[in-house]
Structure 1
Amino acid sequence: MPRWKPDARERFVSAALHLFSEQGYDETTVAQIADRAGLTRSTFFRHFTDKREVLAAGQETLSALFAEGITTAPADATPLAAVAAGLASAAAAMTPFNRELGPRLEAVIATSSELQERAVLKKVGMAAAMSEALRNRGVSEPVAATAAELGVLAFKEAFAAWSSGEGEELAPLTAAALDRLRAALTELG
């Protein structure tokens, strides 16, 4: 068995999602995931603390990309324009691998209350990263929190559409989703 491969993380994620889909989350072990990926358990634990963390793979990177896009947005950008820049930054990093695994990930999460709870915490973490980046730009707390939550909703909606085959690029879908949410806000009065 090879000791190291540069794509180990992706292999673990893919193997885990296939096994979770085939036999269920609770019935799948780390040993089975490692075996399916063609790697060792010790390699698994270099990348993840447990099998639940496989489903959150990339969360920190995604949150950092949101924050980076917000930070580098033009100084005169409105809070939502800065969030749009964060969404574009994250969308640019999404690969065909992410697109392919999106529907399988959602299906697996739907089977377990533990995983649903983890998915909610992931969204909270992404919103917190965006909100902090906005506050660092001088945006007030309530505005930063609201804009960040809208960003998370827009990304979730766009990613679901993209994963199901809509559009070639994720970035235009995130921009359109954010525009729809902005329009919905004006209807609230």
Structure 2
Amino acid sequence: MNTRILLCLIAACVCAFDSASAQNGELALKANDRVTISIGGIPDNEVPQISKVYTISDNGTVNLLHIGEVRAAGLKPSTLQRAIEETYKAREIYTRPTVTVTTDDSATTTRMIYVISGCNKNGPIAYNTGMTVLKAIGSAGGFSPFAKPSRTKLIRNGVTSEINLKDISSDPSRDIKLQPEDQIIVPE
């Protein structure tokens, strides 16, 4: 394969991963995450019954006054906020509710990325915002003596991409930002 084509493919993979992770920095919610839901524009006596901290249930929902179970898992906080507002309006419970959904990073369950092989300490690593492939490799104790970083695979949402970490090591600006549940496989 032509080197120029290979470089274009690598650049396309990097751009695809970066654009997917750059969407306003919000992470999708999941079961057992804790969210604070605040509401305004409703009768004062009902505000305390809705405005509080909720833990997303194992089935991915929060239970709200008058509307019951609302799907939260898989949604970003801003999307959940709009869904709650629209549900209250559509069911004609409130005419102009204003909902705010916030997360507290210390209150959300730990999100992980997984280093499968090729590092000195393979296994799950706690995800941090802004974490990159090279930072994850460093957190996993660096490459094992038999690692082949030029054939590293990144698995995200079931899609596998091959990346050459030697190229990224020489140009850190090309490092790929990770998302929770990403898997890194460095062949040995």
Superposition TM-score, scaled by structure 1 size = 0.21
Larger Rg, first or second structure (1 or 2)? 2
Specify which structure has the higher proportion of strand.
Answer: 2
